[in-house]
Amino acid sequence: MKRSKTQTRLKILDAAYGLMWRQGFLRVSMDEIALRAGVTKRTLYQHFPSKDDLLAATLAHSSELAIGRLRAFPHSGTAAEFLDAFFGELADWAAKPRWSGGGFTRVVMELADLRGHPARSIARKHKKAVEDWLTGVLAARRVSSAADRAREIMLLMEGAMALMLIHGDRTYAGAAANAAKILVQRK
């Protein structure tokens, strides 16, 4: 049975996502992506003219999925209960085999010397969308200066992910949750 162009494109994006997150953008080859997707290199390049185009599309697709998961995240309870659940999910995510940290942050670090790379812009938009979502969640719980608190929680989240990756110790998520709960109590 022949796949549609949309199905083929999604299969390529899924293959690229898995390989790029596991190996890093620079280390994965277009040959590996084509093999994982079950397509020829010619088909791969018909959908994505360059590796940079594929990375940008992969990140945009990944961002849509991640923001969808955030929107579905339970919103009941107090700010403290929400933060415990949020950072608890982060710790659970870090417990997955072969977890390699936050993909958007990793990509930007990998491409740190390429300021104009489209992946950096997509990562920036993604992180802004997460921060906006957090602001909305906190504002709904009447947390004072919700945008400021969301920005601080973003710092805690990114720091917790980096330290969990470095140390292999998921308790950093709990420490970040505790610090975040102190922040949201501020007036």
Average pLDDT over residues 20-32: 86
State CA 26 to chain mean position distance.
Answer: 18
122-163 pLDDT, tens digit per residue, is: 999 999 999 999 999 999 999 999 999 999 999 999 999 999
pLDDT of residue 187: 63
pLDDT of residue 111: 82
Residues 44 and 108 occupy one common structural domain: no
| Residue among 47, 57, 59 at smallest CA distance from 4 | 47
Residues 35 and 62 occupy one common structural domain: no
Per the CB < 8 A criterion, the answer to whether 98 and 158 are in contact is: no
Residues 43 and 64 occupy one common structural domain: no
Which spans in the chain are helix H?
5-23, 30-37, 41-47, 51-71, 79-94, 103-110, 118-140, 146-167, 171-184
CATH number at residue 156: 1.10.357.10
Residues 93 and 38 occupy one common structural domain: no
Cα–Cα distance, 85 to 99 (Å, whole number): 19
Residue type, 6: T
Residues 23 and 72 occupy one common structural domain: no
Residues 38 and 129 occupy one common structural domain: no
Average pLDDT, the chain: 91
Residues 158 and 85 occupy one common structural domain: yes
Residue type, 57: A
Total tally of structural domains belonging to the chain: 2
Residues 121 and 171 occupy one common structural domain: yes
Residues 18 and 32 occupy one common structural domain: yes
Q: Please give the angle made by the CA atoms of 48, 113 and 127, to the nearest 5 degrees.
A: 70
Confidence band, pLDDT 50/70/90 cuts, at residue 115: confident
**Model confidence pTM above 0.85:** yes
Joined together, the tokens standing for residue 115 give 């300021």
Residues 39 and 76 occupy one common structural domain: no
Residues 45 and 63 occupy one common structural domain: no
CATH number at residue 30: 1.10.10.60
The range of the structural domain enclosing residue 39 comes to 1-49
Residues 74 and 30 occupy one common structural domain: no
